[in-house]
A and B are shown apart, each in its own frame.
Chain A
């Protein structure tokens, strides 16, 4: 199996699972299909030697965020019957709009391919942890620190929002 065939196969699986995310009627199944999609994408990252990101993708996205989604779904006890139904008109409009969007984006990007630089012809070590870390802590250290502030804000916000209001008992 050449690398090409693996890449195409992975691509197809990714698209397939993404489609199932959108199409499935049971919300829990949508979540699970999304997890599969993330795994596929991580596989793509490994193909491109972006090792750190592949692992981080699985840990953060598939492991933390999707689990969070699953918790909320279970908490709200949603199932296939309580799923709202969209009218056929909106579905049609949405699909057509999405299709046109895809076509237009590809049309716009097709001519650009001639102008992109040549690929770098060497084994690519940039995805390794130490190289990425070096870049992260020298050139991008400010966004790195600021993102910690972002996390604090998100945590505080989430806790404040989800707190149950205290019932005052007279």
Chain B
């Protein structure tokens, strides 16, 4: 079954631009405000997904499939990054017994 293109039925591209920007801003606020390392990583995933949304929107808008292939690769990288990030977190937790990023401040000037 083929759905009609969403952009022909009245939804303009601005909608998805605004949506992606809002999600990105929310993710940025989350990274700036939250101090739990795991929630931090999750907010980063949120930002990545906002970008994915925008890419797919434009891919459909222009009628080319390249945007979706790129989203595919972004997902690949996000998966790898989440994996490694979590394993670092686990190792750090073993030594420090806490996931507060405020504790990792050895670069303090």
A and B touch in the complex (CB under 8 A): yes
Partner-B contacts on A (CB < 8 A): 2-4, 7-8, 11, 14-15, 18-19, 21-22, 27, 30-31, 34, 37-38, 41, 44-50, 52-53, 56-57, 60-61, 64-65, 68-69, 72-73, 75-76, 78, 82-86, 90-91, 93-95, 97-99, 101-102, 105-106, 109, 113, 116-117, 119-127, 131-132, 135-136, 139-140, 143, 147, 150-151, 153-155, 157-159, 161-162
New A-B contacts (9) at CB < 8 Å, excluding given A18-B22, A84-B100: A15-B26, A50-B60, A61-B49, A69-B86, A76-B99, A102-B24, A121-B5, A150-B77, A154-B81
- In the assembled complex, the CB of B99 is this many whole angstroms from the nearest CB of chain A, namely 7
Partner-A contacts on B (CB < 8 A): 2-11, 13-19, 21-30, 32-36, 38-39, 41-43, 45-46, 49, 52-53, 56-57, 59-66, 68-69, 71-73, 75-84, 86-91, 93, 98-100, 102
- In the assembled complex, the CB of A40 is this many whole angstroms from the nearest CB of chain B, namely 10
**Considering only CB atoms, which chain B residue lies closest to A120 in the complex?**
B63
- In the assembled complex, the CB of B98 is this many whole angstroms from the nearest CB of chain A, namely 8
Whether the Cβ atoms of A34 and B65 lie closer than 8 Å is no
* B35: A residues at CB distance < 8 A: 84-86
* B100: A residues at CB distance < 8 A: 84
Whether the Cβ atoms of A19 and B76 lie closer than 8 Å is no
Given contacts A19-B26, A94-B32, contact A72 B38 (CB under 8 A): yes
Instruction: Report the bound CA distance from A31 to B75 in whole Å.
Output: 18
* B36: A residues at CB distance < 8 A: 27, 78, 83-84
Instruction: Report the bound CA distance from A154 to B98 in whole Å.
Output: 24
* A119: B residues at CB distance < 8 A: 5, 7-8, 13, 61-63
Instruction: Report the bound CA distance from A27 to B38 in whole Å.
Output: 8
Given contacts A15-B19, A52-B68, A150-B77, contact A90 B25 (CB under 8 A): no
* B90: A residues at CB distance < 8 A: 72, 75-76, 161-162
* B27: A residues at CB distance < 8 A: 18, 22
Given contacts A30-B39, A69-B41, A106-B18, contact A101 B5 (CB under 8 A): no
